[in-house]
Amino acid sequence: MRPFRFFGLAAAGPVGIGEIAETARRAEAAGFTGLVLPDHLLKQHAPIPVLATVAAVTQQLRIMPFVLNAALRHPAVLAQDLASLDVLSGGRLEVGIGAGWNRLEHEAVGIPFEPAARRVDRLAEAVDVLKGCFGPDPFSYQGKFYALDHHDGYPKPVQQPHPPLFIGGGARRLLTLAARHADTVGLAPRVLPGGNGVPAPDPGSLTLAAAQEKVAWIRAAAGERFESLELNLYPSGGPLVVTAKAAEPAQQHVDNLRRVTGVELTTADVLQSPHVFIGTVAELVDKIRSLRALLGVSSFMLGEVDAAIPIVEQLAGQ
């Protein structure tokens, strides 16, 4: 089995540089592998400068946007930012990139929110362009979305042929793309159209059985490279909650799902989900070990650092 790797949030909302630095230092001391920041236009810092700050105040902590929206930037421009981060951090960057899901931020700035199939097609091309920019030679590319003519990306990242690539999702098409092109594949719930333009998790895809099905899709698409892939999970039904009274937050999750999807789950369904992390430290440590044994998942994005420190301290390096 692969050893565990744990990632936490570099910042929750817009905060000052001092708080970011202190979070990074606590995470490194506790044994976290790295810190991440999502890529959203609303109510948060941009990920690139925050991750650069994290790298500047730590020695070993890895950094990753979790995840970049491929529709918000031209991938050749993004490649320059990312390669610069890899160089400045001494090769500690991991690149999380996705098709985008937040209709509201697209509408806020007038960037079309395209149908899912078209967003996945754009993501596939963006990955091709990123890899081309990271490569040693000038390259040309002609796709539906991007065209480059003998472009020589600069700087070149420290990690070659490219920094580790993370792609995750809940639908088979997206996981197939990830299985063929990523180094780490994230298992996420499928999403349903939600109220106010914000998608909601499909309750049926929150189960262990659904996660096992996704792993089977990844295995089939990856073929011989499956054994080299790392699998990731993250709390997608709300933040990690350390508590000896799990029933109340689990019921809140049940109520939220019923309100946005109309589907009724039980608290037992929620607590057993590989996408929900609610319980005592001992229970969550056991759950993470179980998910590695059952699914082969060794990478976990656990959310806010302080809540996850007692768990990471017990499992880091195992």
- pLDDT beyond 70 at 121: yes
Per-residue pLDDT at 203: 83
Q: Structure pTM?
A: 0.96
- Domains identified in the chain and CATH numbers: 5-315 (3.20.20.30)
Is 228 exposed, middle or buried, given 0-12, 13-18 or 19+ CB atoms closer than 10 A? Answer: exposed
Mean of per-residue pLDDT scores for the chain: 95
Per-residue pLDDT at 303: 96
Per-residue pLDDT at 256: 86
Alpha-carbon span 267 to 238, nearest angstrom: 14
259-307 pLDDT per residue, tens: 878 888 899 999 999 999 999 999 999 999 999 999 999 999 999 999 9
* Lowest-pLDDT choice from 33-37, 115-119, 191-195, 234-238: 191-195
Task: Write out the DSSP string of 253-314.
Answer: HHHHHHHHH-----HHHHHH-TT--EE-HHHHHHHHHHHHHHH-EEEEEEEEHHHHHHHHHH
Stretch 232-244: mean pLDDT? 90
The residue with greater pLDDT, 60 or 189, is 60
Per-residue pLDDT at 119: 96
Rounded to the nearest 10°, the torsion over CA 137, 141, 147, 150 is 30
Stretch 80-108: mean pLDDT? 96
Alpha-carbon span 295 to 126, nearest angstrom: 29
